[in-house]
Structure 1
Amino acid sequence: MPTTLEKLSFAANRLTTGIYLFEFHTLYNLREYNMTLFLHQENFASFSEKCDEKSDSFTTNLSIKHEDIRSKRFEVKNRINITIYLPKNLETIFANSSKLYGRFPKFNLNASGIKNVYLQDNFLFAWNQPVFGVESVEKLDLSNNLCTDISPLFTASLLRVKYLNLARNMLGRALRSDNKCQIFQNQRNIEELDISGNQLVDLPFCTFQNLVKMRILRLGNNQMTNVSFGIRHMINLSYVDFSDNRLTSLSDETMTSLKLIFKKSKVLINLSYNKLQCTCQNLAFLAWMNEHKNHFVHIEQYICSNRNTQFEFREMEKSLLILHMNCINFDILNVTATAFITLFLCLALVLIIRKYIWHIRYFIYKTKQKHNFEIRLSGMDPEPLLMNKNLPNLNIQDLSEDSMNTLCDRKQSANQYFYDAFISYVGADRDLVFQKVKPLLESHNINVCIRDIHFELGNGKIENIMKAIGRTKRTICIVSKAYMRSRWRTYELNMAKMEGIKARNSLGFVHLVLMPDLFHGDCNTNIKDLIDRKYYLDYPPDGSALQEEFWKKLIDIIKSPYL
C-alpha cells in the first residue's frame, strides 16, 4: 500500500487476515482508518451467483481459527497479551458497527498520535482489563455495546480523554457499586460525559468528584429518582441532561449546588419527561425552578405527573400563586381538622377516664398488690398472712400457687376474713364510732376494723385503706355532710364499691349509714347508686325509739350474705 495514504477505509467489507497487516504500520502519513462494518450491509451474493473468497497463504505461528477469535470461550481460556502496532500519525479509528464481540481484551496500543476512537454499536460487554498506550486518546465512543461491567483498570490509562460516550449500555449496577469512586478518578480532563440509557437508579456522591472541567453531562433515559451525586465543583458546566428519568424534585443539596453554579455560568438543565410533582410538598422546588427558569430547557413543555390541570409551566408565576393559595387553605384545613380531632380525642379520653377513674385506680392497686405478693411468695419476704383468728397463722412461703389463687380470686366465705366490718367515718363522727358503734357491734361478736386503731404505722394511707377493705367481710360507711366533703373518705367509699363489684360480685359489700344532717336530695353520684339499690340505713336521732331497730338491722346486715 502506498505510504502517502492519509485516509484508509475498508467500511462495509469483510476483510480476512493476511500478510498485508504487517504493512499497516508503515503507512506513516495515515491519519484516519475506517473499518466500520454496517450491521445491515447489502447482500453481496446478489451480484454473483458464486463468489469464492481466497485468503492469503500467509499464516502466523499461532494456529488460531477465525471462529475462535469470536469465541467467548477462547477469550476466557486464552488471554494473551497483544501489542497492536499502528501508524505513528494515526489520529482516528472508526470501528463502530463492526461486530466486535466479547470482553475488552488486555492489550498494548503502539500509536502515540491516536486521539479519536469510535467503537460504538458493537458487543463489547465487559471493560475490565487494562489497556495501555491510549494516554493520548481525547475522544472515545463506547456507546451501545450492552456492557454490564466496567473496571477502574480499564479507565486508568485514559488520562487525556475529553469526550467519553458510554451511553446505551447497562452500567447502572457497576457505577452504583463503585463506592470508592475509582472508575472516573483519573479522568480530570473530561469535558463531556454521556452515560444516558444505562439503567442508573442512583450514583455515589463522589462519582464525579475529579471531573472539575466538565461542561456537558448527559444522564437522560435512566431510572433516577433523585440526584445523589455531588456537582458543586463543576463550575464549568454548560448543560446537564436529566430528561426521561423518574425525578419528582431535586434535593436541597442539589438545588444549593446548582444555585452556586448559576452565579458562575449560564448552565442549562433539561428536566423534561420526568415525574415532577406539582404538590404542596414540592412547593419549594417549584418556586426555585421559577426563580431560575431561564436555566431550564423547554420548561414550558414540562408537565405534572399528577396531572394537575391548574399548574401550567408556561405560566409558572400564576400557577405557583394558585398552588400556594391552595396549600394555605389546605394547611388551614389540616390544622383545623387536626385540632378538632385532637380536642375530640382528649375530651373523649377525659370523659372515659372520669367515668372509669375508680376502675383504673382499683386495677392499678390490685396489679401492684399481686406483683408484691408474687415477690414475697418467692421467698423475699416471709410475712405471715393475716387470716381469721380461728384459722392457723400461715407463712406466705408455705402457700402453693393454687392456695394463693384460692385466697385471692375465689369468692370468700365469712370465716375467711380477719374482720367482719370495716367502719369508714370522718373525724367529726369519731365519738359516735368509739362510744356507740364499736362497743355495740363488738358486744354481738362482730370484729370491726377502725382506722384509728388498726391502721399500721409506716404504711401509706392508700395501702392501709385497701388492706382494710380486702380483709373485711363488709364495709360500713357513716355518711354525713362532712364525710361527703372528705377526699380520703370518698376514696374509701369508691374503692370499697370497686371491691364489691370486682372481687365480691355484689355492690352489697358496701352499706351506708346516713346521718340525720344528710338529706337524700343532697346525695351526690358517689352514693346515689347505693341508695337506689337500698343499700343504706337512716341513723335515727339520739333517744329515738327507732335506735334499737336500727342496730338490729345493722347487725343483721353485717352478718348476712351479700344481696
Structure 2
Amino acid sequence: MHIMGMMKFSYCVLLFGCLYHVESLSTLARSTCTFENATCICWHQYNAVYVNCSGGNVESIPGFNDSVIWLDLSHNRINEIRLQTIPKHLIHLDLSWNEIKNVTRGVFNSLPELSFLDLSYCKIHYVEEGSFSDLHNLRHLNISFNRNVGFASLPNLTFHLNKTRIGSLHLNGITCRTGAGTTLKRHHLDLIGTNITELSLESNRLEICERDVIKNLPKTLELLSMAKNRLKTGIYVLEFALMTGLKVLNTSFQQNPSFCPACVLDPCRDKKENFANTAGDSINGYEQHYDYNSPQTINWTIYSPPNLETFDFRSSTLYLLNTDVSVHAPNLRHVYFQHNFIVSLTKNFRMKNNSIVSFDISHNFCSHVSPQIFEDSRHLKHLNMSHNYLGQDLGKDTEGQLFKNLESLEMLDLSFNKIASLPKLLLGNSKRVRFINISNNRLSDWKISMSGMSKLVLLDLSQNKLTTLDENARTNIERVFKHSNLSIDLSENVLQCSCKNEEFLTWMSENEHHFINIDNYTCSPPNDGFSFKTLKKSVISLSKSCKSYLGWYVGCAVALAVFCSFVTGWLLVKNKWKIRYIIYKSKQKFGWIKQPSIHGSTSVNYEHDIFLSYSGCTLMFVLNEVIPRLEGNRNMKLIIKDRDYLPGFPKTDNIMHSLQESRKTVCVVSKTYLESRWRDYELNMAKIEGIVDRGRLDFVILILLPEVCKSGYPSKIMDLVMRNCYVEYPEEPCAYDDFWEKLVNMIES
C-alpha cells in the first residue's frame, strides 16, 4: 500500500459513514434550500437532513432546525460561532476555511452527538481552555493551518480531551511558517487517558521534543505524522520504542522548506509561552553530559516501536556512510528512505530478523551495498534501488550474493544505475519475481539466468546499449514464455538491422506479441529498408538480401578451393590489414589487451565524434585549422594523437581504441602521410573497421591537400576516392568555408 494512502487510512475510517452519504447523492433527491441568508443544497435520508452551504459567501451561521445532522459551512466568511443556530443533533460539522478567530468554552456544549469537527484554515488566534471537553462523542478534530494558534495554545486545546472519544487529532501547521525551530514540551499535549489512534503534527518547524513527550503519548496511538518539520536527533528518539501501539511513523520531508515569497512579509508571530512549568526547562528537559574522552566509535542498536509496520523518512537529508548500527524492528514491513544521502550500506548496517516487504532507497547517490544487508530479508517483495551508482557493485557480484536471500522478491527496480553488465547468477534465487526494471543503464548484453522465473510479466530493458540478444539470452527468455505472458521493452536501444543480426530479428518477429512499444524501436545505424512497424515483412526482405550474399560467399569458397594453392598467398598479401585487424579483435575479446581510457563522450554510441589521422608535417594545420573549426565551432570531440594518447600503451592499441570509440575517422592526406608506415597502418585499419564493424566504408573521410591532388591520386586511396569519401582542401582562401561545410556534412551524414 502506498505510504500516503496508509497515512490517511484511519482518517478515512472515521469519515466513512459521512462520506458514504455524500457518495450516495446520485441516488438521493437533492434540492435547493434557504436558511436565513444562506442558500444551500439539502437532501434527506432516514429522516435526517444533510446540508451543504460551502462556498456561499456566508458571513454568519444561519438558523437550522434540529433534524440536520450533517452540516458543511466551509469556504465562507463566518467570523463567529453562535451556539443558538447550530442544530443540537449534529454529527458532522465542517467550518474550515472561514474567519473564526476565537474558540471559547461552551460554544459546543449543546452538541453532545458531534463526532466530526473541522476548524482548519480559520485564522484562529485563541482557544479557551476546555473548549472541546464537552463534546463527549468527538472522534475527529482538525485545527490544522491556523498559524497563530501556536504550541502555546496546545494545553488549552487538549485540556480534558480524555472526556471525549477522540481518535484523530490533526495539528498541522499551527505555528508560523518562518522562524527558528520549535520545541514540543511536556505540558503541550494533555492526551493522557485518551484513546487517540492518529496524531498529526506536520509543518510546525518542529525541531526537537522534550523528554517524556513521546513517552506520554497514548499507547493506543497507531499513526504519528511529524513530516515537513526540522527534526534533529535527540534523546527523545529512544522513547519511540515505548510506543507499543504505533504502526505508522511518518517523519518525511525534514528540513525541506517550500518556496514561499509571501512568507517574507508574513505578519505571523509565534505565541509566547505563559506556563509556570516552562521555567528552567532545557532543550531536552534535562542537562546533557558527554564524555569527550570516551571512544568515538559506538555500536548503536536502535529499537523501533515493537508493532511499527511503516516508516517513512524520505527526503530528510539522512546521511549514511559506513555507519555501524543495528536496527531491531521485528514487525516493520514498509521502509521509505528515498531522496536522501545513503552513500553506502556496509555490513555494519544490520537489520536482523526483519519482516520488511517494501524497501525504497532510490535517489540516494548510493555506490555500495553489502550482501549482508539483505541476509534476513526473506520476506522482501518490493525493492527499489533506482537512481543510484550501483553499476560496479552489481557487475562484480558474480556469485549472486547480494540478492541471494530475496526468495520472495516480486518487484526489482535497478534503473538509472550506470550498469554496464550484470552477472548470470545475480537473481539466481528470486524465482517469484514479476517485474524487473533495468532501463536507462549501459547494458550491451543480457546474461542473467531466468531459469525458474515462471511469474515474470515485465522485463524493462529500454534505453540501454543493446544491439542484439544472443542465443543464450533468447533461450532463457523462451523458457519464461512457456509459463508466463512476459512483456519485454527494448525501446531506445541500438538494435542492429543487418544480416549479422538476422537470427535475432527473426526470433523477434516470431514472438512480436511479447515486445511492448515495438513500433518505437529503431535501427542503429539507420536502415531505411527495415521498419519495426512492419517487422515480419522487413525480416523476410532482409532474409532474401542476406541469402543472395550467402550464394556469393559459397561461390567464392568453391573458387578458392579449386585455386587454393595459387590464391592463398595472394589473399594473405591482399588482406594483410584485415588479418591484422582480426588478430587484434581476437586479443581484445579475450582480454589480452589493456584498453586505454579516453574520456569525453558527446555521442550516444561512441565516446568521440572523430579520430584524426595526420602526419607530423601537418601538425600546424591540425592545430590552427582542424581543431578550431571542428571542436571550437562545431562542438565535436576529436581524438588527437599528440594530445589524447595515453603514455604506457602500445601505439597500435591506442590507434585501434581510437578507431573503435570514434564515430568517423578523418585522414589529413599529404605526400608525407602517404609515405609514413604508421599512417598507412591507421588508414588501412580504419577501412577495415568501417567494413567489418560499421558495415560502411564512409566511416573514413579523406582531406586531400593540394600537393596530393596535383600529382594524382595514389592507388592506396583510390577505393575511397571512387566512393566519394574525400574532400579536397582548396588553395584559395575564399573557398575555405565551403570546404569546412562540406566536411561537416560528410561527418554528420
TM > 0.5 fold call: yes
Residue 225 (structure 2) aligns with: 9
Deviations 1:497-545 (A, max 9, x none): xxxxxxxxxxxxxxxxxxxxxxxxxxxxxxxxxxxxxxxxxxxxxxxxx
Say if 1:345 and 1:92 are closer, same or farther in 2 by CA, change over 3 A.
same
Q: Are 1:101 and 2:101 an aligned pair? A: no
Separation (CA, whole Å) in 2 of partners of 1:279 and 1:160: 46
2:246 maps to which residue?
A: 30
SS of the residue aligned with 1:182? coil
Native 8 Å contact 1:18 1:59 kept in 2: no
CA deviation after TM superposition for structure 1 residue 256, in Å: 0.8
- What residue is the counterpart of 1:306 in the other structure? 525
1:192 aligns with 2:411: yes
Residue 60 of structure 1, CA deviation = 4.7
1:137–1:243 CA distance, 2 compared to 1 (3 A): same
Which aligned pairs between 1:26-65 and structure 2 lie closer than 5 A? 26-37=242-253, 40-42=256-258, 46=264, 47=266, 55-62=283-290
Residue by residue over 1:164-221, the C-alpha shift from the partner in whole angstroms, topping out at 9 and shown as x without a partner, is 1111111111111223221111111111111111111112211111111111111111
SS in 2 for 1:93: strand
Judged with a 3 Å threshold, the aligned counterparts in structure 2 of structure 1 residues 223 and 59 are, in CA distance, closer, same or farther, namely: farther
The counterpart of 2:297, out of the listed 60, 75, 79, is: 79
- CA distance in 1 between partners of 2:271 and 2:234 (Å): 16
Alignment of 1:167-246 (within 5 A): 167-246=386-465
> Unaligned regions of 5+ residues in structure 2, if any?
1-216, 273-281, 571-749
Structure-1 separation of matches of 2:271 and 2:286: 18
1:118-517 correspondence runs (5 A) = 118-128=336-346, 129-133=348-352, 135-336=354-555
Determine which structure has the larger helix proportion and give its number.
Answer: 1
Aligned equivalents of 1:52, 1:174: Cα separation in 2? 53
Distance 1:350 1:212, change over 3 A: closer
Report the CA distance between 1:27 and its aligned residue: 2.5
Deviation at 1:146, TM superposition (A): 0.9
Q: Distance in 1 between matches of 2:408 and 2:233?
A: 37
Give the Cα–Cα distance (whole angstroms) in 1 for the partners of residues 299 and 287 of structure 2: 19
> Greater relative contact order (Cα 8 A, min sep 6): structure 1 or 2?
1
SS in 2 for 1:221: coil
CA contact (8 A) 1:11 1:35 kept: yes
User: Bigger radius of gyration, 1 or 2?
Assistant: 1
Residues 134, 106 of structure 1: alpha-carbon distance in 2 compared, 3 angstrom cutoff: farther
Counterparts in 2 of 1:330 and 1:40: CA distance versus 1, 3 Å: farther
For residue 259 of structure 1, give the secondary structure of its aligned residue in structure 2. helix
Root-mean-square deviation over aligned CA pairs: 3.0
1:327-385 deviation line (CA, Å, top 9, x unaligned): 1122234444566678778557899xxxxxxxxxxxxxxxxxxxxxxxxxxxxxxxxxx
Equivalent pairs, count: 340
The alpha-carbon distance between structure 1 residues 176 and 29, as it changes in their structure 2 partners (threshold 3 A), is same
8 A Cα contact 1:18 1:56, kept in partner: yes
> CA 1:246–1:22 in structure 2 vs 1: closer, same or farther (change >3 Å)?
closer
Q: What SS does the corresponding residue of 1:145 show, helix, strand or coil?
A: coil
Normalising by the residue count of structure 2, what TM-score does the alignment of the two structures yield? 0.42
> What is the alpha-carbon distance in structure 1 between the residues aligned to residue 354 and residue 363 of structure 2?
23
2: CA distance, partners of 1:323 / 1:249: 16
In 2, the alpha carbon distance for the partners of 1:59 and 1:322 equals 83
Residue identity opposite 1:97 in structure 2: S
Question: 1:203 and 1:20 mapped to 2: Cα distance?
Answer: 44
Q: Which 5+ residue runs of structure 1 have no aligned equivalent?
A: 65-73, 352-563
Kindly indicate whether the alpha-carbon contact (under 8 Å) linking 2:231 and 2:254 is maintained by their aligned counterparts in 1. Answer: no
The answer on whether the counterparts of 2:362 and 2:386 sit within 8 Å (CA) in structure 1 is: yes
Secondary structure in 1 aligned to 2:545?
helix
C-alpha separation between the residues in 2 aligned to 1:15 and 1:148? 27
Instruction: State the one-letter code of the partner of 1:87.
Output: P
Q: Are the counterparts in 2 of residues 205 and 229 from structure 1 also a CA contact under 8 Å?
A: yes
**Paired residues of 2:329 and 2:354 also in contact (CA < 8 A):** no
* Amino acid paired to 1:119: F
Distance apart, 1:33 and its partner CA: 1.0
- Amino-acid identity (%): 32
Conserved 8 A contact 1:114-1:134 = no
Greater displacement, 337-346 / 286-295: 337-346
The amino acid across from 2:283 in the alignment is S
SS of 1:121's equivalent? coil
2:330 is aligned with 1:112: yes
- Distance in 1 separating the partners of 2:454 and 2:479: 8
Q: Are residues 111 and 316 of structure 1, via their aligned partners in 2, closer, same or farther at CA, if it must alter by over 3 Å?
A: same
The secondary structure found in structure 1 opposite 2:343 is strand
